[in-house]
A and B are shown apart, each in its own frame.
Chain A
Amino acid sequence: MTFMSWLQFPLYIVVLLILVKPLGLYMARVYQGERTFLSPVIKPIEKLVFKMAGVNPDDEMSWKTYALTVLAFNLVGFFFLYLLLRMQHVLPLNPQALGAVSPELSFNTAVSFVTNTNWQSYGGETTMSNLSQMLGLGVQNFLSAATGMAVLIALIRGLARHTTNKLGSFWVDLTRSTLYILLPLSIILAMFLVGQGVVQTFHANIVSQTVDHTSGVVLQTIPLGPVASQVAIKQLGTNGGGFFNVNSAHPFENPTPFSNFLEMLSILLIPAALTYTFGKMVGDTRQGWALLAAMTIILVLMAGIAIKAESQGNPAFVSMGIDQSAGNMEGKEVRFGVVNSALWATVTTAASNGSVNSMHDSFTPLGGLVPMWMMMLGEVIFGGVGSGLYGMLAFVVIAVFVAGLMVGRTPEYLGKKIEIHEMKMAAIIVLIPVVTVLFGTAIALISSSGKASIFNNGPQGFSEVLYAFSSVGNNNGSAFAGLGANTSFYNIALGIAMLIARFALIVPVLAMAGSLSQKKIVPASGGTLPSHTPLFIGWLIGVIIIVGALSYVPALALGPIVQHLMLGTGRLF
């Protein structure tokens, strides 16, 4: 690997970290209702939206009302998207004359986009009309992202406030997330992407003659569509659902190394900045920096392992005479190379994004283990917009509680005592994805319907199923892609897993917020465990790794670990 290709890794981390404070500060001002530089333009629109919806921005909600509102809103969103997909064949903006999407696939897709997972059991350009992509999937990209951010802000208020049961208004948080943050950033990113050559058109697909007719293929259909606008929110909202089947490996979704850098940066931009927003809103930015440090350390370590594994290439290919000097280039785009592909794979699975610029099924066993493991950690290493940080805060509660037990002090975090109810909710938040992933994988592997979709044998086939459930069980959405997932079994099983992973976590998060907001603030004393020191950061990392390891190492041993050991003997699957 050349020095320039390795340089892209630290360059990415540095640029990301530089942007954390300015964006984080802006978002804190938005959520606290303070004036920002965009207020003159957006405030009138915000007021109009509230007026049309009959929302009083001063009406705040208890945790229970907030949770029920989130559930009701997303249920309506599901029905709207489901109907759109089932009716797309009779609706406008369908130049490709695509038929209605089947009931199971519509269910899976609607659940997928409402839950911010964006698992796609279909190829976009051959399944979804332009209207479905824009009005259905694109809109849910914004709303699901805004939902995650709103829930996080409710939790932050729970930590920041005391002796109150009010956590803010879901409608206000949803609207402000969309109007002040997601829309402006998406417009800017979309314009940059169009400048790089990402297509943005309502023109029908082009049919052209191929240059080389020796294969017998004379005509080729070149799919087009309003891609740039969808890609922008796909990345910024940690959605991940691409316009095209191969996602950001497609030259019309991601044409250049610069578009690749921008798209990769936008995956972690808002989740990283939200750590600063958190610190600002609780009145101690050191808390946010501590969480950012923990996330960054794990990301850098895991990205390093993935890049190293892919850079070394596949030893079995060497014996076949295939040049591995550029690393394992199977399933990778030449314009991106190994470093950008492995880095993207780590970043997208750290963030619950799930977009890909290379085919994860083609990674080496250790290279493929990294994205799988990143998802299994609970998507808390930056994680999804909002959902990553609220998941991380659940781990913080557990870390504080266990540390408090070890030193014999009452556990407290940000002046709030961590008691039995908070621990119950934190345990539910951490364990629900684990149960979903492991049970889902087990059911798939013992059922004939589940096994029928596995086309690779041995540990590779096992890994594909494990990866699929790890992905949906943590709302990521990426896939190993060797699995035939567009079947009744997988559409329904994975859909149910996505629902559980999203909403069965949002409820205890809000419950924990409601409980915390009612507590009094206890002033720090000599016995208080500081939660911004390197010791606490190391402890937090340890808790995350240990919980992930205890939960998943047996499953990983059956998949990528045994496959790596067998690779050394020249055995491929």
Chain B
Amino acid sequence: MSDLWMILIVMGFFLLMWGFVSLCNALMEN
């Protein structure tokens, strides 16, 4: 697999983590 795929996997994961931060914040406020 190429460099682009590797970078996309990592970027996708960190975007997911950004969303996870928002989810945990929402859970805290409920």
Q: B21 touches which one: A64, A107, A515 (CB < 8 A)? A: A64
Q: Which residue of B lies closest to A111 (CB)?
A: B10
Contact of A104 with B21 in the complex, beta carbons under 8 Å:
no
Task: Report the Cα distance A104→B1, complex, angstroms.
Answer: 7
What per-residue 1/0 map shows which CB atoms of A77-113 lie under 8 Å from chain B? 0110010001000000000000000011011000100
Task: Report the Cα distance A507→B13, complex, angstroms.
Answer: 13
In the assembled complex, how far is the CB of residue A489 from the closest CB belonging to chain B, in whole angstroms? Answer: 11
Q: B9 touches which one: A488, A492, A503 (CB < 8 A)? A: A492
Task: Report the Cα distance A416→B27, complex, angstroms.
Answer: 19
Task: Report the Cα distance A225→B1, complex, angstroms.
Answer: 31
Contact of B21 with A507 in the complex, beta carbons under 8 Å:
yes
What per-residue 1/0 map shows which CB atoms of A477-503 lie under 8 Å from chain B? 000000000001000100110011001
Contact of B13 with A492 in the complex, beta carbons under 8 Å:
no
Contact of A103 with B24 in the complex, beta carbons under 8 Å:
no
Contact of B28 with A78 in the complex, beta carbons under 8 Å:
no
Does A421 make an interface contact (CB < 8 A)? Answer: yes
Q: B18 touches which one: A68, A111, A496, A515 (CB < 8 A)? A: A68
Contact of A104 with B17 in the complex, beta carbons under 8 Å:
no
Contact of A496 with B9 in the complex, beta carbons under 8 Å:
yes
Q: Which residue of A lies closest to B11 (CB)?
A: A75
Size of interface on B: residues with Cβ below 8 Å to A: 19
Task: Report the Cα distance A71→B24, complex, angstroms.
Answer: 15
Contact of A504 with B20 in the complex, beta carbons under 8 Å:
yes
Complex contacts, B25 vs chain A, CB 8 Å = 64, 511
A507 and B3 in contact, given A64-B25, A421-B28, A496-B9 (Cβ under 8 angstroms): no
Q: Which residues of chain B from 2 to 30 have any CB-CB distance to chain A below 8 Å in the complex?
A: 2-3, 5-7, 9-11, 13-14, 17-18, 20-21, 24-25, 27-28
Complex contacts, A488 vs chain B, CB 8 Å = 1
Q: Which residue of B lies closest to A421 (CB)?
A: B28
Contact of B28 with A71 in the complex, beta carbons under 8 Å:
no
Complex contacts, B24 vs chain A, CB 8 Å = 425, 507-508, 511
What per-residue 1/0 map shows which CB atoms of A110-147 lie under 8 Å from chain B? 01000000000000000000000000000000000000
Contact of A107 with B17 in the complex, beta carbons under 8 Å:
no
Task: Report the Cα distance A511→B2, complex, angstroms.
Answer: 35
Complex contacts, A103 vs chain B, CB 8 Å = 1-3, 5-6
Contact of A75 with B14 in the complex, beta carbons under 8 Å:
yes
- Chain A, interface size category, equals 20 to 34
In the assembled complex, how far is the CB of residue A67 from the closest CB belonging to chain B, in whole angstroms? Answer: 5
Inter-chain residue pair count (beta carbon < 8 A) = 60
Most chain-B Cβ atoms within 10 A of its Cβ — which of A64, A106, A488? A64
Task: Report the Cα distance A500→B1, complex, angstroms.
Answer: 21
Does A203 make an interface contact (CB < 8 A)? Answer: no
Contact of B6 with A496 in the complex, beta carbons under 8 Å:
no
In the assembled complex, how far is the CB of residue B18 from the closest CB belonging to chain A, in whole angstroms? Answer: 7
Complex contacts, B11 vs chain A, CB 8 Å = 75
In the assembled complex, how far is the CB of residue A370 from the closest CB belonging to chain B, in whole angstroms? Answer: 32
Q: Which residue of B lies closest to A78 (CB)?
A: B10
Contact of B14 with A71 in the complex, beta carbons under 8 Å:
yes
Does A388 make an interface contact (CB < 8 A)? Answer: no
Does A383 make an interface contact (CB < 8 A)? Answer: no
Task: Report the Cα distance A78→B5, complex, angstroms.
Answer: 14
Q: Which residue of A lies closest to B5 (CB)?
A: A103
Complex contacts, A64 vs chain B, CB 8 Å = 21, 25
Does A514 make an interface contact (CB < 8 A)? Answer: yes
Contact of B10 with A107 in the complex, beta carbons under 8 Å:
yes
Contact of B28 with A507 in the complex, beta carbons under 8 Å:
no
Task: Report the Cα distance A82→B17, complex, angstroms.
Answer: 20
Contact of A507 with B6 in the complex, beta carbons under 8 Å:
no
Task: Report the Cα distance A107→B24, complex, angstroms.
Answer: 28
A515 and B20 in contact, given A103-B2, A488-B1 (Cβ under 8 angstroms): no
Q: Which residue of B lies closest to A422 (CB)?
A: B28
Complex contacts, A68 vs chain B, CB 8 Å = 18, 21
Complex contacts, B3 vs chain A, CB 8 Å = 86, 103
Task: Report the Cα distance A508→B28, complex, angstroms.
Answer: 11
Complex contacts, A111 vs chain B, CB 8 Å = 10
Complex contacts, B1 vs chain A, CB 8 Å = 103-104, 488, 492
Most chain-B Cβ atoms within 10 A of its Cβ — which of A78, A496, A507? A507
The 8 sampled A-B contact pairs (Cβ below 8 Å) are: A71-B18, A75-B10, A78-B10, A103-B6, A107-B9, A421-B27, A495-B9, A504-B17
- Can you add 19 more A-B contacts, CB < 8 Å, to A104-B1, A492-B1? A67-B21, A71-B21, A75-B10, A78-B10, A79-B7, A82-B6, A82-B7, A103-B5, A103-B6, A107-B6, A107-B9, A500-B13, A503-B13, A507-B17, A507-B20, A508-B24, A511-B27, A511-B28, A515-B28
Which A positions have Cβ atoms within 8 angstroms of B?
Answer: 64, 67-68, 71, 75, 78-79, 82, 86, 103-104, 106-107, 111, 421, 424-425, 488, 492, 495-496, 499-500, 503-504, 507-508, 511, 514-515
The 8 closest A-B pairs by CB, nearest first: A511-B24, A107-B6, A103-B3, A75-B14, A499-B13, A507-B20, A67-B21, A103-B6
